[in-house]
């Protein structure tokens, strides 16, 4: 059967994501595994990533925002989902009705979430039809907590986020006593369930991360003294899940690793036993033979050194291909590797292929799994002076996602 192709596409290897989750679960050894599928699954497609992660053994999913969580529920995902970054004026009722677990980074959010739970409970007929409302936590003492849930979503489940030194979101240490006391009061009244406590590491150094681990443990001790018994404590993202056992607690919360990419400068995906899940490729749209001295693309940042062949590739910065990588990033056409020639434009870039035989319709590999011969995404990241995370997450909607595996 002829393979259907488009002139720009990202091929997503679903089996690779499942493999990476299994591998990282094995490395971390934690009771639970939170697969982070925010930002449209780091550009891989949130639903594709969620389904593959669950197949690989993820017990929960993590997203940044409530709309991301609701979209997964609407698509039929029934696993526990945590959303932790909220607009100051967010209405939590839709999330509560859909059984979404909510991160709490400010004390006023506790009252707002509890009020949303009460509103949902007052309208059981509408909430009962919400997908996910029947789902309770897995593991721990969740069996005793399940009784607090109803068909209308029950008591909202929250994860208290502690600021442990990253300087971003979260309850500051000075707020911990008040926040834990208020959470314990609302939980005793049956208005919330404190499902988890979490934080996030800076990844600056082992010493800095261990200092954050110590601060997190202090917060957990205060939470326990206030009468809170969270089912799941999570701190480690991919890097700490692999290299910092002290940060693993009950669960790891893994993003970049499940997509087969390394968070380290000194270890490749293959070194970690991971398989990159995204291959970005296009097709040669035009071929032109030009003389020595021909200027190429805007500003003539590249001029041909001799008579040569130029190949046009219909991918540009509107598709998330970084302009900063102009003149430096690698591509593969056939068995040969080349560099982008001149400036990357909004819709296209040019490759000077010399005398190599290249024809309209030939496949152009930008990045993917080096085991399959594709340039690694890290080379594009280096060419753009950024990190692999940014390259995959910025791939735009004009690039067709095609799922394999």
| Residue pLDDT, tens place only, 195-215 | 999 999 999 999 999 999 999
Query: Is 73 known to sit in a ligand binding site?
Result: no
Question: Which residues are marked as active site?
Answer: 38, 298
Q: Give the rounded percent of residues in the chain with a pLDDT score beyond 70.
A: 91
Is 37 in contact with 61 (CB distance < 8 Å)?
A: yes
Residues 6+ apart with CB under 8 A from 159: 82, 84, 101, 102, 103, 104, 194, 195, 196, 197, 198, 230, 232, 234
- The string of pLDDT tens digits covering residues 240-280 is 999 999 999 999 999 999 999 999 999 999 999 999 999 99
CATH code of the domain occupying 278-404: 2.40.37.10
Q: Give residue 136's pLDDT.
A: 40
Tokens representing 188 are: 């005793």
Could you tell me the residue ranges of all domains in the chain?
A: 14-270, 278-404
- The string of pLDDT tens digits covering residues 279-324 is 999 999 999 999 999 999 999 999 999 999 999 999 999 999 999 9
- The string of pLDDT tens digits covering residues 93-119 is 999 999 999 999 999 999 999 999 888
Q: Give residue 178's pLDDT.
A: 98
Residues 6+ apart with CB under 8 A from 26: none
Domain 14-270 -> CATH class: alpha beta
User: How is 32-70 classified by DSSP, letter by letter?
Assistant: EEEEE-HHHHHTT-HHHHHHHHHHHT-SEEEESSHHHHH
Q: Indicate whether 369 pLDDT > 60.
A: yes
Nearest to residue 388, comparing CAs of 228, 197, 193, 255? 255
Q: Indicate whether 138 pLDDT > 80.
A: no
Distance between alpha carbon 65 and the CA centroid of its chain, in Å? 12
Q: Give residue 5's pLDDT.
A: 66
Query: Measuring CA to CA, how many Å separate 138 from each of 58, 162, 264?
Result: 11, 22, 31
- The string of pLDDT tens digits covering residues 39-55 is 999 999 999 999 999 99
CATH topology match: 14-270 vs 278-404: no
Q: Give residue 2's pLDDT.
A: 43
Q: Give residue 128's pLDDT.
A: 45
Nearest to residue 272, comparing CAs of 287, 282, 258? 258
Report the distance separating Cα 211 and Cα 217, nearest Å. 10
- The string of pLDDT tens digits covering residues 325-335 is 999 999 999 99
Query: Is 168 known to sit in a ligand binding site?
Result: yes
Supply the pTM of this predicted model. 0.92
């Amino acid at each position: 059967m002829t393979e259907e192709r488009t002139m720009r596409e990202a091929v997503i290897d679903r089996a690779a994501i499942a493999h990476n989750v299994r591998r990282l679960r094995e490395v971390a050894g934690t009771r639970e595994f939170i697969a982070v599928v925010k930002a449209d699954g780091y550009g891989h497609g949130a639903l594709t990533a969620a389904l593959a992660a669950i197949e690989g053994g993820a017990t929960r999913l993590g997203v940044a925002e409530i709309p991301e969580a609701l979209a997964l529920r609407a698509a039929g995902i029934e696993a526990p989902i945590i959303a932790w970054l909220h607009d100051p004026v967010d209405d939590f009722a839709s999330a509560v009705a859909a059984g979404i677990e909510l991160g709490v980074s400010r004390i006023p959010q506790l009252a707002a979430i509890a009020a949303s739970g009460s509103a949902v409970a007052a309208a059981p007929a509408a909430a009962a039809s919400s997908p996910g409302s029947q789902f309770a936590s897995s593991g721990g003492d969740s069996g005793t907590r399940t009784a607090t849930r109803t068909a209308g979503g029950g008591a909202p489940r929250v994860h208290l986020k502690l600021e442990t030194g990253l300087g971003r979101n979260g309850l500051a240490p000075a707020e911990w006593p008040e926040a834990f006391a208020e959470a314990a009061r609302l939980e005793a009244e049956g208005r919330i369930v404190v499902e988890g406590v979490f934080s996030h590491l800076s990844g600056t150094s082992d010493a800095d991360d261990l200092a954050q681990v110590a601060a997190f443990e202090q917060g957990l001790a205060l939470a326990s003294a206030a009468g809170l018994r969270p089912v799941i404590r999570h701190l480690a993202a991919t890097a700490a899940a692999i290299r910092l056992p002290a940060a693993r607690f009950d669960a790891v919360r893994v993003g970049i690793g499940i997509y087969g990419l390394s968070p380290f400068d000194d270890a490749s995906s293959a070194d970690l036993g991971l398989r990159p899940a995204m291959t970005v490729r296009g097709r040669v749209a035009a071929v032109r033979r030009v003389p020595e001295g021909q200027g190429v693309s805007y500003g003539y940042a590249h001029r041909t050194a001799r008579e040569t062949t130029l190949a046009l590739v219909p991918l540009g910065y509107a598709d998330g291909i970084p302009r900063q990588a102009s003149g430096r990033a690698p591509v593969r056409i056939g068995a040969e590797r080349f560099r982008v020639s001149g400036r990357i434009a909004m819709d296209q870039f040019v490759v000077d292929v010399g005398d190599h035989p290249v024809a309209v319709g030939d496949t152009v590999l930008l990045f993917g799994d080096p085991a399959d011969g594709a340039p690694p995404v890290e080379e594009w990241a280096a060419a753009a002076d950024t990190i692999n995370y940014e390259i995959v997450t910025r791939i735009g909607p004009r690039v067709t996602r095609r799922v394999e595996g």
